[in-house]
Amino acid sequence: MEEVAQRAEVSLATVDRVLHGRTGVRASTVQRVMRAAADLGYVAQAEAWAAMAPKPLRLSFLIPEGPNRFLRMLGDLIGYSHEHWAPFNVRCQAEYVESFNPEALARQLLKHGKKCDGIAFMALEHPMVREAVASLAEQGVPTVTLISDLSNSSRAAYVGLDNRAAGRTAAYLIARFMGPAARGRHPKVAMIAGSLSYRAHEEREAGFLHLFEEQYPGVHVVGAREGQDDEEKNYRQARTLLEQHGDLAGIYNIGGGAAGIGRAIKEVGASRKPVFIGHGLTPDTRALLIDGTMDAVITQNPQGAVMNCVRIFANLRDGREPTSGVEQVRSQVIFRENLP
Give the residue from 188, 268, 190, 192 showing the smallest Cα distance to 232.
192
Closest CA to 279 of 194, 177, 338, 158: 194
Whose CA is closest to 36, among 69, 14, 64?
A: 14
CATH class of 2-52: mainly alpha
CA distances, 257 to each of 134, 143, 153, 190, 207 (Å) = 32, 28, 29, 15, 21
- Write out the CATH class of domain 57-160+301-329: alpha beta
Please tell me the pTM assigned to this model. Answer: 0.84
Burial of 161 (0-12, 13-18, 19+ CB in 10 A): buried
pLDDT of residue 84: 79
The residue count of the chain comes to 340
CATH 3.40.50.2300 placement within the chain: 57-160+301-329, 163-299
What is the predicted pLDDT for the residue at 40?
85
Count of other CB atoms within 10 angstroms of residue 194: 29
Residue ranges, comma separated, of all CATH 1.10.260 domains in the chain are 2-52
Distance CA 236, CA 233 (A): 5
- pLDDT per 10-residue tile (average), the chain, 340 residues: 90 87 78 85 70 77 94 92 80 94 98 96 98 97 98 97 97 96 88 95 97 95 92 97 95 97 96 96 97 97 93 91 91 96
Which numeric CATH code is attached to 163-299? 3.40.50.2300
